């Protein structure tokens, strides 16, 4: 039988926040597509990236290390698109905060670091 891996409280709270938060932001971008003056492809791209972030957060919850790298990469792409097209100041700020929070949640502790539990 597989051993159950315990997750730290910080990582659990981060994952819950990211799953709910990225889903809500994706739906907000989806709703705002029609009233946008930005390029027609920008909001669908950001919507897809936020939905992908939700998927990557679930992968992190299932202890897949690739979910961490994919989450960081998608947030860097969101940051790049947001800064390039000046979508909103909140979007690039949140992208940076999410990366910092993920790093902190994964590397919290000494012997019980979550990073060591990923496969």
Q: What pTM was computed for the model?
A: 0.84
pLDDT 10s digits, 60-72: 988 888 999 999 9
Q: Which residues of the chain fall short of a pLDDT of 50?
A: 1
Task: Identify the pLDDT of residue 105.
Answer: 80
Task: Identify the pLDDT of residue 49.
Answer: 95
Task: Identify the pLDDT of residue 109.
Answer: 62
Task: Identify the pLDDT of residue 2.
Answer: 63
Enter the tokens of residue 114: 């979550």
Helices (H), the chain: 9-32, 42-61, 65-85, 90-106
């Amino acid at each position: 039988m597989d051993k159950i891996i315990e997750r730290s409280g910080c990582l659990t709270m981060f994952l819950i926040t990211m799953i709910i938060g990225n889903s809500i932001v994706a739906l907000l971008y989806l709703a705002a597509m029609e009233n946008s003056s930005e390029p027609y492809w920008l909001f669908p791209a950001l919507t897809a990236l936020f939905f992908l972030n939700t998927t990557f957060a679930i992968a992190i919850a299932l202890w897949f290390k690739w979910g961490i790298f994919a989450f960081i990469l998608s947030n860097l792409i969101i940051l790049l698109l947001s800064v390039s097209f000046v979508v909103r100041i909140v979007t690039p700020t949140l992208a940076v905060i999410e990366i910092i929070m993920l790093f902190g949640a994964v590397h919290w502790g000494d012997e019980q670091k979550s990073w060591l539990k990923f496969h």
